[in-house]
A and B are shown apart, each in its own frame.
Chain A
């Protein structure tokens, strides 16, 4: 005696394009991924800088004055902030992927390395070394 079961009819909830707005966690993730956008702008600036350097003095000076414009400075300040935020998230994730030392030590080490490289670059490019 077998009872007749109605056929299964599982309901699929569609995932909408705005899924990432639903949680603070997802929004933070999207923010982390979005840090690449201002970085693209900075990379463009950098490439243009190298190109104008190769083109000669006038073009180099033009590039320098372009870089000094307030909106360019503002965008690049945003890039710096975004990159520092991305670095923070990356440095915190890294010890979980490669647990070589206790996490706080690895995080501190990465910040120290960043600071060292940044200082060295500043000294080198600033002509102090």
Chain B
């Protein structure tokens, strides 16, 4: 299709080398039905302004690196289309994160929070190395057991939920939707035995109880994971953990 219609993209610019505060810059971008926000950014970078910085990789909503704010709402650039907007588009870096340059956010905090909940299978049993005679066995799982955590397992770490979460905005130490969802995902996995190691993080003041169920995180999640539900299921787990703790010597 021929691209004749143009749209105005207003982009927040910030260059750490010489800017004290961010400013805005407008670009005219030709578009058709299939032009995504990421396509538009690539067009600007290639044809209008090579200095524009933004992240991207897969272009198919899998890598989670193209997250930006479009008109104030956290979006994946590659999954958002110019045709969806009647007026101009305002593009800003993810809210609640520091801006490295232009649309590139500093995701360090996010990655630290993900790590904090030990998002991997933890087994308590002896490792195969100590019992050389026995080969490591595969861990079987029934479809029913899989169904328990499956919907929480498709996170692409895009960080949109953190940009939607005012609690994370107010307290950057709050572990946040994705990390708490990931904790829940592993706690619900029948092969995992690490729940006891994760609960202190979840029970802590920056854990599940920091969430007030604003619910916007679930709305913006490009994979429809419902992180708000996962975090609040974590509250049930945390409360259960507390009650059980009362009866333990």
> How far is the CB of B174 from the nearest CB of chain A, in Å?
13
A94: min CB distance to chain B, Å: 9
Given the complex, which residues of B lie within 8 Å of A58, measured CB to CB?
A: none
Taking A15-B96, A99-B229 as given, write out 14 further A-B residue pairs in contact, using a Cβ cutoff of 8 Å, ordered by the A residue number. Answer: A10-B16, A11-B14, A11-B16, A11-B19, A15-B170, A19-B169, A19-B170, A25-B214, A26-B166, A26-B214, A29-B215, A96-B228, A97-B232, A98-B233
Count how many chain A residues have C-beta atoms less than 8 Å from C-beta atoms of the other chain: 21
Residues of B within 8 A of A (CB): 14, 16-17, 19, 21-22, 72-73, 95-96, 98-100, 106, 166, 169-170, 212-216, 219, 226, 228-229, 232-233, 235-236
A residues near B226, Cβ cutoff 8 Å: 96
- Shortest CB distance B236–A (Å): 7
Residue among A10, A11, A26, A97 with max Cβ neighbours from chain B (10 Å)? A11
A6 to B170, CA, bound (A): 30
Question: How many residue-residue contacts, CB under 8 A, span A and B?
Answer: 63
Known A-B contacts A19-B169, A93-B232; the reply to A25 vs B17 at CB < 8 A is no
Nearest-Cβ distance from residue A12 to partner chain B, whole angstroms? 5
Tell me the complex Cα distance, A11–B71, Å.
Answer: 20
- Check A23/B213 contact, CB under 8 A, given A8-B100, A10-B16, A11-B22: no
Which of B98, B169, B236 is close to A15, meaning CB atoms less than 8 Å apart?
Answer: B169
Which residues of A are found within 8 Å of B17, using beta-carbon distances? Answer: 6, 9
Cα distance A29–B167 in the bound complex, in angstroms: 12
Determine the distance from Cα of A12 to Cα of B22 in the docked complex, in whole angstroms. Answer: 10
- CB within 8 A of A12: which of B98, B232, B233? B98
